[in-house]
């Protein structure tokens, strides 16, 4: 059974009596033990989609359309109490800022065992034993000592390891990692990602990796969904996506990342312009103002996501992007 | 690479329980505060054993100065001031601490709930708090005692009610900023209930200003009781309290200085010691502060 399935999810914001759509038609799915990367720039709706899964959208935001299914159960049909039951025990989350996502006045032991005692009904001693195991598993030395410490006594990397331990503590089936390494040193980023991916594989946990870094995706995710301005514009396996991006935006993203396998003097080509203001109405494809291949059709009609070879793309001219990518490499 | 063990970089921190002891060891003021408060507590508890006279027993030695029989002198009715202050400790300390405890619990709960849930809950609670804020605390206390009558319980209710708004405001403003913290979101993603999030994750981060307010309030409560007694709205005329003694002695301040000074000194010492203890508690509860 599919672990997580989002189908045509739309998220609206109500502000000053107006309603604007921040996420349109987001669809993707994930199985246990798999990693799905959601890639996009700030404001593309990737974090919102994750929060919608948690049922934790901020005030004023709501899921307006679509279905979110967890193990075949429709989350939007569940009562807040039932969803609260799922949180922590079946679905957990790793946040972007390890410096601020641990409570500064609670010991590591308290924060790590609280969920286990509450959700799994472990005794204080049982939870402590498991906490020690978890800390060891996330690569923290001298766990007994660390349990007594407070977040400010740990480095950023260690805190993120603790967050991973907390996320894993109640044996969840799904972990949502919202840019888990953005706030860390480059040298630590790879370690933390490799650790997260490995633990999720080992424990048969589905991982949704939200990131704006395409470089991360290549190594750790099997499937990738690229989001732009609230829409999923391309879905493919990481391998296919890199080899032949179909959407001009994906191509633009790949072109703007420095690569070691290309001549050093190749200039990086950034995508011109800026993503649209979500509050502003835009006809047609949301990428058309920045798209070098835009035609009249792109301005007039919204492209639906459809199969193109092994990709799913929301673009009227998917093969143009691919052709150009090849030229660029050649 | 993933198994890279991180070397321990800092010395072992003390556990929370021993933080109180560890911070106390360096805090002379807190030690002094605890000693003074302990002395007053013991004096209050053992007042019947320690007092040389019945506090209400009148003698013809009126406004007698300091002597071996009356170490702190006597008042205008010839009552022994030392005995009266000893007995007064009971009521004054009890009122000072119990009113703040009641106001603290009620005010913090209101403030946390208002700040966390927002919306109409916040509206209702805060309009009430505003209403109370608009009246001077003392007027409310006087009004309540005047309506419901004097007596220990009514005085405690009146004074504690007057402090509820201060605690509610502090708790609410702290909650408003703390609920935006990511660790509060993180607690919610772990599926903790709202109450648990509020009391286990938000409240402990708000203790510092609350403790400061509580220690200041203990002083005001003792003084508040003194003011009510002064107006004849205190516990009752036959129960000596520091405020009552002070009020009774006011008319004779030029002839008998001790009637004003000694109850005043008692109030000052208790207030001071509670402030010292409050500072210590604030430091001991702040895990980020090393010692």
Structure confidence by residue, pLDDT tens digits, B118-128: 889 999 999 99
Residue from B46, B184, B189, B161 nearest B104 by CA:
B161
CB contact under 8 A, B1 and A194: yes
- Residue A5 C-alpha from the chain's centroid: 14
Sequence-distant (6+) residues with CB within 8 A of A97 are A183, B182
In a shared domain, residues A304 and A253: yes
ipTM over 0.90: no
State how far residue B121 is from chain A, nearest Cα, in angstroms. 15
For range A53-69, the mean pLDDT? 85
Integer CA distances (angstroms), A67 to A6, A7, A49, A229, B62, in order:
6, 5, 12, 20, 88
**According to the model, what pLDDT value does residue B105 have?**
95
Q: Is A38 helix (H, G, I), strand (E, B) or coil?
A: strand
Q: Which of A141, A157, A166 sits opposite B8 (nearest CB)?
A: A141
Whether B249 contacts B75, CB under 8 Å: yes
Mean pLDDT in residue range A106-117: 91
Per-residue pLDDT at B14 = 46
Contacts of A115 in chain B (CB under 8 A): 190-192
Q: Could you tell me if residue A235 is inside a domain? A: no
Which stretch of DSSP H or E encloses residue A67? strand A61-70
pLDDT band at A273 (very low <50, low <70, confident <90, very high): confident
Q: Is A168 helix (H, G, I), strand (E, B) or coil?
A: helix
On whether both A303 and A220 belong to a single domain, the answer is no
pLDDT tens track for A217-261: 777 888 899 988 888 888 888 888 888 888 888 888 888 777 777
Q: Is the pLDDT of residue A326 over 60?
A: no
Nearest to A89 among B16, B188, B191 (CB): B191
Q: Please say if the pLDDT value at position A276 is more than 90.
A: no
- Of B2, B12, B285, nearest to A191 by CB-CB distance is B2
Residue B4 is predicted with a pLDDT of 40
Helix axes B137-148, B207-230, angle to 10 degrees: 50
Tell how far CA A71 is from the center of its chain.
Answer: 19
Q: How many CB atoms are closer than 10 A to CB B131?
A: 10
Residues A35 and A162 in one domain: yes
Q: In chain A, what percentage of residues exceed pLDDT 70?
A: 96
Interface contact A102-B288, CB threshold 8 A: no
- pLDDT exceeds 80 at position B67: no
A84 domain residue, yes or no: yes
- Radius of gyration (C-alpha) of chain A in whole angstroms: 21
Architecture of the B27-46+73-285 domain: Orthogonal Bundle (1.10)
Q: Identify all chain B residues contacting A119, using CB atoms and an 8 Å cutoff.
A: 190-191
**Residues A224, A181 contacting (CB under 8 angstroms):** no
What pLDDT, on the 0 to 100 scale, is given for residue B120? 92
**pLDDT computed for residue B12 by the predictor:** 43
Number of domains in chain A: 2
**Contacting residues of A for B5, CB less than 8 Å apart:** 139-141
Residue-wise pLDDT tens digits, A141-183 = 899 999 988 898 898 888 989 999 999 898 899 999 988 888 7
Range name among A38-42, A87-91, A170-174, A215-219 with the lowest pLDDT average: A215-219
Helix (H, G, I), strand (E, B) or coil at B124: helix
Task: For residue A242, tell me if it sits in a domain.
Answer: no
Whether the per-residue pLDDT at B36 is higher than 90: the answer is: yes
pLDDT digits (tens, 9 = 90+) for B261-278: 888 899 889 988 988 988
My answer on whether A149 and A282 are in the same domain is no
Hey, where are the domains in chain B? 27-46+73-285
Categorize the per-residue pLDDT at A330 as very low, low, confident or very high, splitting at 50, 70 and 90: very low
* Shared domain check, A196 and A307: no
For β-strands A91-94 and A174-178, DSSP reports them as parallel
Domain boundaries, position A266:
248-329
**Is residue A13 a part of any domain in this protein?**
yes
Mean pLDDT to the nearest integer, A19-23: 85
Please tell me the total number of residues recorded for chain B in this structure: 291
Residues of B in contact with A163 (CB under 8 A): 186
A165 and A273 housed in the same domain: no
- Answer yes or no: do A77 and A200 share one domain: yes
CATH of the domain at A180: 3.40.50.300
In this prediction, what percent of chain B has a pLDDT beyond 90?
Answer: 20
């Amino acid at each position: 059974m599919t672990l997580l399935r989002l189908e045509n999810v739309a998220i609206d914001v109500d502000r000053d009596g107006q309603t604007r759509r921040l996420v349109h038609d987001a669809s993707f799915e994930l199985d246990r033990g798999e990693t799905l990367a959601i890639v996009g720039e700030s404001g593309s709706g990737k974090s919102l989609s994750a929060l919608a899964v948690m049922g934790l959208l901020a005030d004023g935001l709501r899921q307006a359309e679509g279905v979110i299914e967890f193990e075949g159960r429709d989350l939007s049909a569940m009562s807040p109490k039932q969803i609260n039951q799922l949180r922590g025990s079946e679905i957990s989350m790793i946040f972007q800022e390890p410096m601020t996502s641990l409570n500064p006045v609670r010991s590591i032991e308290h924060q790590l065992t609280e969920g286990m005692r509450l959700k799994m009904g472990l005794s204080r001693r049982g939870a402590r034993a498991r906490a020690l195991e978890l800390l060891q598993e996330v690569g923290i030395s001298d766990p007994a000592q660390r349990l007594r410490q407070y977040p400010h006594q740990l480095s950023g990397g260690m805190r993120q390891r603790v967050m991973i331990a907390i996320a894993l503590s109640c044996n969840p089936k799904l972990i949502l990692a919202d840019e888990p390494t953005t706030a860390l040193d480059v040298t630590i980023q790879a370690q933390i990602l490799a650790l997260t991916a490995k633990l999720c594989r080992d424990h048969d946990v589905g991982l949704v990796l939200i990131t704006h870094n395409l470089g991360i995706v290549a190594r750790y995710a099997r499937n990738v969904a690229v989001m732009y301005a609230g829409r999923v514009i391309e879905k493919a396996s990481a391998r296919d996506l890199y080899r032949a991006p179909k959407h001009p935006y994906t191509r633009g993203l790949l072109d703007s990342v420095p690569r070691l396998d290309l001549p050093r003097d190749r200039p990086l080509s950034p995508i011109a312009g800026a993503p649209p203001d979500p509050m502003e109405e835009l006809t047609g494809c949301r990428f058309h103002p920045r798209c070098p291949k835009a035609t009249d059709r792109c301005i007039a009609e919204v492209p639906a996501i459809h199969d193109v070879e092994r990709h799913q793309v929301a673009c009227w001219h998917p093969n143009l992007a691919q052709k150009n990518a090849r030229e660029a490499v050649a | 690479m993933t198994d890279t063990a991180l070397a321990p970089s800092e010395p072992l921190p003390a556990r929370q329980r021993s933080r109180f002891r560890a911070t106390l060891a360096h805090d002379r003021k807190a030690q002094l505060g605890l000693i003074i408060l302990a002395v007053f507590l013991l004096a209050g508890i053992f007042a019947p054993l320690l007092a040389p006279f019945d506090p209400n027993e009148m003698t013809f030695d009126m406004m007698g100065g300091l002597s071996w029989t009356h170490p702190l002198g006597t008042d205008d009715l010839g009552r022994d001031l030392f005995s009266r202050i000893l007995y007064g400790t009971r009521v004054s300390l009890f009122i000072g601490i119990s009113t703040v405890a009641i106001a603290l619990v009620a005010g913090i709960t209101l403030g946390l709930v208002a700040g966390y849930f927002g919306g109409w809950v916040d509206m209702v609670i805060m309009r009430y708090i505003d209403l109370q804020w608009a009246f001077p605390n003392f007027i409310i206390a006087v009004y309540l005692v005047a309506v419901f009558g004097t007596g220990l319980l009514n005085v405690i209710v009146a004074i504690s009610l007057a402090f509820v708004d201060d605690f509610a405001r502090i708790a609410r403003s702290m909650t408003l900023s703390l609920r935006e913290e990511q660790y509060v979101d993180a607690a919610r993603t772990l599926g903790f209930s709202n109450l648990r999030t509020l009391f286990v994750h938000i409240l402990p981060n708000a203790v510092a200003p609350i403790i400061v307010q509580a220690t200041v309030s203990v002083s005001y409560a003792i003084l508040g009781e003194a003011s009510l007694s002064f107006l004849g709205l205190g516990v009752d005329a036959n129960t000596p309290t520091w405020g009552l003694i002070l009020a009774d002695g006011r008319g004779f301040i030029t002839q008998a200085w001790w009637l004003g000074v000694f109850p005043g000194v008692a109030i000052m010492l208790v207030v001071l010691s509670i402030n010292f203890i409050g500072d210590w508690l604030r430091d001991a509860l702040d895990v980020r502060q090393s010692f």
